[in-house]
Structure 1
Amino acid sequence: MSSAKKGHLSQLSLGGLLITLGIIYGDIGTSPLYVMKAIIGGAAINADIILGGVSCVFWTLTLQTTVKYVIITLNADNNGEGGIFALYALVRRTKVKWLIIPAIIGGSALLADGIITPPISVSSAIEGLRTYYPSINTVPIVIGILFVLFFIQQFGTSIVGKFFAPMMLIWFGMLGILGGIQVFDNFEVFKALNPYYAFHLLKLHPEGFYILGAVFLCTTGAEALYSDMGHCGRKNIRVSWIFVKSMLVLNYFGQAAYLLRFEGKTLVELGGPNGNPFYLIMADWFQPIGITIATLAAVIASQALISGSFTLINEAMRLNFWPKVTIKYPTELKGQMYIPSVNWLLFLGCALIVIHFEESTNMEAAYGLAIVLCMIMTTILLNFYMIMKRVKWYFIAPIITIYGIIEFSFFFANIKKFSHGGYVTIIIALLLITIMFTWFRAKTISKSYTKFVKINDYKKVLAELSTDLTIPKYATHLVYLTNSSRTDEIEEKVMYSILQKRPKRADIYWFIHVNILNEPYKTEYKVTEILHDDIIRVDFNLGFREPTKINIMFREVVKNMVQNKEVDVTSRYASLSKNNILGDFKFVLSEKFLSNDSDMIWHEKLIMNTYFLIKKLSLSEEKAFGLDSSSVKIEKFPMVVNPPESICMKRID
């Protein structure tokens, strides 16, 4: 990322604060729709549970969201970018190989959370209609809203995005005003700021510990604060969080103040079958307005999760955690992308969640278990980040210990949800973990069995081949993509393709290597002339959030080299050369398949077979690299893993 870009991200401005409100607080900002309702459940309202629950909410927002994420974790930025994969890209420099495990688990859990957040947010908002229509079936309405939301992703969200900031400002203002009105009638609720009430609930009440599973819902959007740091900047997040937290706390305490007036009653008695404290604190005349604003806020929360999922998958692809898929850029806005396959898989998952659980109350059981796993994984990576930054151990130890205790407590409290719906998000997370691990491990196995040769050993023969008129010319410029990070080496299969499979005569041989960097935004290249006017290598250094458009990038490189008189790309055919006709460029890509001669142990065989199955469903290499299919030749090569020993045979007459 350029210094100008980083400078922009670090600036504190009113516009930046508004954009931050619109982009990153949707998930955590819509939590008041269901947190207090989940804490009480179907039980009678009890002062100990209300005060203890709202005390737990306040201290969770303070310790988990404010201290861990806003104050500590936002410091772990990768050139202005945040999120668990950005954090992993930083800490993998420590060369601790097993850190790939928390990165994959955390990323998968965050994606699984992205499937449950839109249904629970939109359902909680729409269920407010039951105040007027008690028997209304909200399932088709919720699915309809989600379909429209996912459908418009292909057109980009730049226009809709301008609506997000003022809408979320209205939303948080409404939260604060509604809560403030109730608190004004009962200031005693503020005694819940004393952590004693949280401790009292957890220690003495038989259900106290498991109420933590509901309390945790108030901080599920904390990971989004970190993931979207690149869009808003650290300073804007920290300053805007003061306002957001104040409004959230006012609303939670307002709901608590209201409920304390009805001790002994149930939510059903107060508001019917779907009694929700969030809507109960509204005046009757305001409820239609409140439902509308809540629905719009829920849609914005869903949009943030969808955009975050696109970014996460894009990063996973660059880090070799995910198969290559089509990425589209519907607008010129940097960082905005649309991934059709992920978009519709997310919609399918959301629709199935709505159909399966029907009510937001039922979804609460599925919510939280996956995201607490993500938070634990972030804590593990954060530990190594602080070690890498040479933070003193007496600072690291208490921080990691405290958050280890807090997050594992939330984890065990959420375990109770497993059989009531938590299994859904865990199954989704396990499926994503399997895909990511299989893809990464298969790439590692493939790389370990790739043979490289020294280019110097082939310079002479390539130079002679280039001028051998007895062999028909294959292309004026022949381009190979190589995985070799060393400029003096090339895959053996590339030389086999040029010299043996079918001798390919070309005037100039180009070798292109794409190096994905640990930082998010960078587009650099380096040209190495291996043999003058015969062999040229180009190394692209791209940030892990940059699109891989090799066709366009390579064209720019050649154009620049021609301007600098480093290469002549005019056709070498006499009739074309005298008319200054440019020579043709031909790309050759190798596509591997698993050889029957491979001798692998069972788990390697399972991984490789799964990898090639997924590969068939993923994007082709030429599309993944942004190449023009009309100028690409695909060659299939057998991948032989652990080739068998030579067979001894006896010749007989």
Structure 2
Amino acid sequence: MAESDKQAERAQKAAKPQKAQKTNAKAGANKAKAKQEEEALLRADTFTNAPKVSRRTLTKEEREAIAKQREAETREAEKIASASSKGRLGRWWARLQSGPDKVTWGMAIVALGVVYGDIGTSPLYTAQTFLAGQGGLGNVDREAVLGMLSLVFWSITLITTVKYVLIAMRIDNNGEGGIFALYSLIRKYGAWLAIPAMLGGAAFLADSVLTPAVSISSAVEGLQTLPPLEQLFDENPSLTLMITVVIIVILFSVQSRGTESIGKVFGSMVLVWFSFLAVVGVVNLNNDWSVFAALNPMYGVKFLFSPHNAAGIALMGTVFLSTTGAEALYSDMGHVGRGNIYFTWPFIKIALVLNYFGQGAWMLNNARNPQFNTMKSLNPFFQMMTPNVRYLAVILSVTAGVIASQALITGAFTMVSEATRLNWMPHLQVRYPARTRGQLYIPVVNGVLCVSTLAVLAIFKDSEHISAAYGLALTITMITTTVLLGVYLWYDRKRVGAIVFTVLFLAIQIMFFIASMAKFLHGGWFTCLLTIAILFVMYTWNEGTKLERAQRRHMRPKDFLPALDKLHGDFRIPYFADNIVYLTSDSETKRLDTDIFFSIFADHPKRARAWWAVSVETTDEPFTREYSVENFGTNYIFRVRFRLGFKVSQSIPAYIHQIMHDLSKTGELPKQKSIYPKVDADPDIGTVRYVLVHKALMPESKVSARGALSLQAKYAIRHVAGSPVKWFGLAPYNPLIEVQPLFVSTRRPPRLKRTDGTKTVPAPTPTRSVADPAAVPDPMDTTAGLSRLVQELDAAMSAEEKK
């Protein structure tokens, strides 16, 4: 046995260098390949790849960014290779250091500032609300305290840790989280899934309006408890509201700097805040460590249904306050990365549990203290500290309230961005302050949230009244997220797990919802009103988009080329412009949208040297600048598709001019020389006119009442939300905004009766000429109209030639 063990040991030692050589060789090969790709990329001054594709010269900054990215990829490959021999734990740690789950100290600090602000303010008011529901500290015994602590601990564990951190965050859409990202993964399984997704998203956005108001106002009101400031606030009751308004305005003003810069500042503060929560909790736990008996869930169940529970089922509404902010972990995943949330959550949960249990120990030790039994609005969070420490607590709580607002604001940006991709909201201008696409800023949303939050303060005045509406909307979001997660797990072949997950969490969250409904008449109506308003915008925009897409028709080249060829060569019609550029959202590149053809021939035909149909696709890469061109075998009609990175400015006129210049050099576009001198443009490129087509519903259109309402609402929202003229930088170029009827079937109007006694004689059908506006194809029968138009054009040209 000893000899065989020695031989095995020698064989193992001999195998280690070979394994290390293979690992080093693999890492070296990856590094060499990356270096070759980098050198090939940096050698190219311009990109001349496949036909009909052109790319422009890289800037110095982009070259440096590409080189750094290649170096980072090489280092990550080496880390993974070196960790492969360290077993499962080594591979897990390697994944946290690379790929989508990469953990860095800097982004971990950002995660603290962006993600955990909301859930970090829960200890400020959860225990206070519990005592108010039980009638004060004098009516609370050991059974009540342990029951409350047990419900809080297991709610945080089940809702936040299990549901969101361990299950939901494993399901992402290209790194993005949130209810809309989840829906985009499962919408193929049923159209009905849009209903819970819209409802949950609307409720989350409604809650995003209330969170800054309630968290900041409640923290600022803590200044009133400081003895030096007590008289000042008594003499100036509106001072609290004024300070809250100033803080909120400043908070929304700095959003354009991006969550990374904000998170670095807030992150260190949140680290101090949670450390403070943990330390204060431990100090009070030294008086009574027995409160950890509440880790037994039976204490919570017994007290919930106990006759000593004065609040009844409404107690769950109080317990739910400890989980507010859990949804933000999932929705903000794209801002900071999943790995950084995995890495920081254990510290956050430990700090929260220590503080809650510390408050519980303080309540047990002071339950019979007459000083606290008669105190109105007793808050154990502040009372368990010495007066000197309380000053620091108030300052930190104000900071935490601001950070809690930031968590919901960043989540709202992500939510609206996802809704836009799903065509549930209008296309809004999005900015990316950082290199990561998940870190975004939407000016319109930021402005709406700021104004709405100030409106909430104007209506409710203080945190006591705002908190009456707080939390109800978030329970709706959690319920709908549970439904969508259950559907995902079901179709992911985890049938048993899907059933257990859905039943368990729906039972818990429906109980939270029923308990929160008690808030409806005390301010919850405002949350419901906001949710319904946002849901109306999503639903009508989605329905209107579906109706528009249902009427969209595409034309094959053989259908539109003859007519355009005739118009292109008809010298009797003056040029509308040398180049007419249509901006379209249509992704079809081999066929032409009938809206464009209708625009060209409607009323007075728009003759041009070249017609352009242009669409823009935003890529996940930051600096992509590509385009493809389909010319349909002609030199006068071009279908252009841009692929622009999310960090690239979408200045369409500049790119269109470059494409025209490129195609003119290759001979694909004939030179457009003018007899007049041009002082500010390429002499080979003629005039350019941009056209945007907007749809309108005609009174006689055959559309259901619901469909008509959706279309009218969508067009009204589009008018308010903004125009592509601003998004694409077209304002200086005087674009033509053309309104076209929606191509749907129409009702024939009733025939009019003539009353002057003269008989109506049908007029003879006139012969239509090429330039006759009546030669426009029938919008209700586009294909037939085009065929008739081509035939009439041929006949008219033949008649002219004979003359």
TM-score by length of 1: 0.90
CA displacement at 1:144 relative to structure 2 = 2.3
Whether 2:689 is the aligned partner of 1:595: answer: no
Alignment-derived partner of residue 402 in structure 1: 504
Whether 1:67 aligns to 2:162 is yes
Alignment-derived partner of residue 136 in structure 2: 44
Deviations 1:101-149 (A, max 9, x none): 1121111111111111112211222222222245623222222221222
Q: Name the residue aligned to 2:541.
A: 439
Question: Residues 556 and 592 of structure 2 are in contact (CA less than 8 Å); yes or no, is this contact kept in structure 1?
Answer: yes
The answer as to 2:171 corresponding to 1:76 is yes
The one-letter code of the counterpart of 1:227 is S
Question: Residue 256 and residue 547 in structure 1: after superposition, are their counterparts in 2 closer, same or farther (change >3 A)?
Answer: farther
Cα distance between partner residues in 2 of 1:264 and 1:122: 33
1:510–1:490 Cα change, 3 Å: same
- Alignment correspondent of 2:473: 370
What's the offset of the Cα at 1:560?
9.7
CA displacement at 1:73 relative to structure 2: 0.4
Q: In the superposition, relative to structure 1, how do residues 546 and 154 fare at CA in structure 2: closer, same or farther (>3 Å)?
A: closer
For 2:576, what is the secondary structure of its paired residue? strand
User: 2:213·2:457 contact (CA, 8 Å) conserved in 1?
Assistant: yes
Partner of 1:247: 351
Residue 189 of structure 1 pairs with residue 291 of structure 2: yes
Hey, what does 1:131 align to over in structure 2? 225
Deviation of the 1:16 alpha carbon: 2.5
Q: Which amino acid aligns with 2:222?
A: G
Q: Could you give the per-residue CA deviations for residues 174-225 of structure 1, whole angstroms, max 9, x where no partner exists? A: 0100111111211011111110111112222353421110111111211111
Tell me whether 142-151 or 50-59 shows the greater mean CA deviation: 142-151
Q: Give the direction of change, closer, same or farther, for the CA distance of 1:151–1:277 in structure 2 (3 Å limit).
A: same
Report whether the alignment pairs 1:339 with 2:442. yes
- Given residue 383 of structure 2, which amino acid in structure 1 is its aligned partner? L
Q: Provide Cα deviations, 1:332-370, integer angstroms capped at 9, x if missing partner.
A: 775544434332332232223334333433333211110
Residue 200 (structure 1) aligned with residue 302 (structure 2): yes
User: What CA distance in whole angstroms lies between the structure 2 residues aligned with 1:300 and 1:525?
Assistant: 42
Q: Does residue 333 of structure 2 align to residue 229 of structure 1?
A: yes
Q: Identify the residue that residue 573 of structure 2 maps to in structure 1.
A: 471
Query: Matches of 2:219 and 2:649 in 1, distance apart?
Result: 40
SS of equivalent to 1:469 = coil
Q: CA deviation at 1:603?
A: 2.4
Counterpart contact for 1:512–1:538, Cα < 8 Å? yes
Q: Give the 3 Å change call, closer, same or farther, for CA 553–164 of structure 1 in structure 2.
A: farther
Return the alpha-carbon distance in structure 1 between the equivalents of residues 111 and 549 of structure 2. Answer: 41
Q: After the TM superposition, which of the residue ranges 47-56 and 220-229 deviates more from structure 2?
A: 47-56
**2:551 pairs with 449, 454, 459, which one?**
449
Aligned residues of 2:552 and 2:743 also touching (Cα < 8 A): no
The verdict on how the C-alpha distance between 1:159 and 1:479 changes in structure 2, with shifts beyond 3 A counting, is: same
Cα distance change, pair 554–463 in 1 and its aligned pair in 2 (3 A): farther
- Output aligned runs, 1:276-315, within 5 Å: 276-315=379-418
Distance 1:357 1:268, change over 3 A: farther
Counterpart check, 1:535 vs 2:626 = no
Amino acid at match of 1:222: A
Aligned partner of 2:674 in structure 1 is 573
- Letter of the 2:359 partner, please give it: Q
Q: Which moved more, 1:565-574 or 1:476-485?
A: 565-574
Tell me which residue corresponds to 1:426: 528
Q: Secondary structure at the match of 1:86?
A: helix
SS at match of 1:278: helix
Work out the CA distance in 1 between the residues paired with 2:666 and 2:283.
74
Give ranges in structure 1 of 5+ residues lacking alignment.
Answer: none
Counterpart in 2 of 1:317?
420
Q: 1:81 to 1:476 in 2, by over 3 A?
A: same
Indicate yes or no: 2:501 matched with 1:501: no
The structural deviation recorded for 1:566 is 7.4
Q: Which amino acid aligns with 1:306?
A: I
CA contact (8 A) 1:40 1:49 kept: no
Between 343-352 and 564-573, the greater mean CA deviation after superposition:
564-573
Are residues 1:101 and 2:195 paired?
yes
In the alignment, is the contact (CA less than 8 A) between 1:327 and 1:340 conserved in 2? Answer: yes
Q: CA RMSD in A?
A: 3.2
Rounded to whole Å, the distance in 1 between the matches of 2:731 and 2:668 is 22
Shift of 1:379: 1.4
Q: 1:510–1:535: 8 Å Cα contact kept in structure 2?
A: yes
Distance 1:393 1:328, change over 3 A: closer
Count matched residues.
Answer: 647
Q: CA deviation at 1:542?
A: 7.4
The equivalent of 1:630 in structure 2 is 733
Given residue 674 of structure 2, which amino acid in structure 1 is its aligned partner? Answer: Y
Is this contact kept in 2: 1:49–1:201, CA < 8 A? yes
* Conserved? CA contact 1:320–1:440, under 8 Å: yes
2:700–2:749 Cα contact (<8 Å) kept: no
Counterpart of 1:551 in structure 2 is 652
Conservation of the 8 A alpha-carbon contact between 2:317 and 2:512: yes
In the other structure, the counterpart of 1:14 is: 105
Preserved CA contact (<8 Å) 1:478 1:588: yes
More displaced 10-residue stretch of structure 1: 248-257 or 11-20:
11-20
Aligned to 1:617: 720
**Counterparts in 2 of 1:155 and 1:516: CA distance versus 1, 3 Å:** closer
Whole-Å separation in 1 of the counterparts to 2:393 and 2:674: 74
Post-superposition Cα deviations, 1:406-440, rounded to whole Å, max 9, x if no partner, equal: 11111111111111221111111111111111111
**Which residue identity is paired with 1:401?**
V
Amino acid paired to 1:55: S
SS at 2:631 equivalent: strand
**Contact persistence 2:116–2:329 (CA under 8 A):** yes
Q: Which amino acid in the other structure matches residue 551 of structure 1?
A: I
* Partner Cα distance (1:542, 1:412) in 2: 48
1:112 maps to 2:203: no
Q: Which of 1 and 2 has higher RCO (CA within 8 Å, sep 6+)?
A: 1
- Return the letter of the residue paired with 1:16: M
Check 1:44–1:575 CA distance in 2 against 1; reply closer, same or farther (3 A cut). Answer: closer
**1:248 deviation in Å?**
0.6
For 1:266 and 1:435, locate their aligned partners in 2 and report how far apart those are by CA, in whole Å.
54
The percent identity for this pair of structures is 36
Long gaps (5+) in structure 2: 1-68, 74-94, 754-758, 762-803
Higher alpha-carbon deviation: 395-404 or 533-542: 533-542
Contact 2:697 2:708 in 1 (8 A): no
The whole-number CA distance in structure 2 between the counterparts of 1:567 and 1:334 is 36
- For 2:126, the equivalent position in structure 1 comes to 35
Q: Is 314-323 or 229-238 further displaced after alignment?
A: 314-323
SS where residue 530 of structure 1 aligns?
Answer: coil
Letter in 2 for 1:215: V
Structure 2: how far apart are the matches of 1:421 and 1:61? Answer: 25
Question: Could you give the per-residue CA deviations for residues 440-470 of structure 1, whole angstroms, max 9, x where no partner exists?
Answer: 1111122223344333211133234334333
- Scaled by the length of structure 2, the TM-score of the pair is 0.74
Change in Cα spacing, 1:266 to 1:643, as seen in structure 2 (3 Å) is: farther
CA distance in 1, matches of 2:331, 2:420: 16
Instruction: Report the Cα distance in structure 2 between the residues aligned to 1:196 and 1:179, rounded to whole angstroms.
Output: 23
Distance 1:579 1:147, change over 3 A: closer
Deviates more, 1:291-300 or 1:147-156: 147-156
Q: Secondary structure at the match of 2:416?
A: helix
C-alpha separation between the residues in 2 aligned to 1:382 and 1:119? Answer: 30
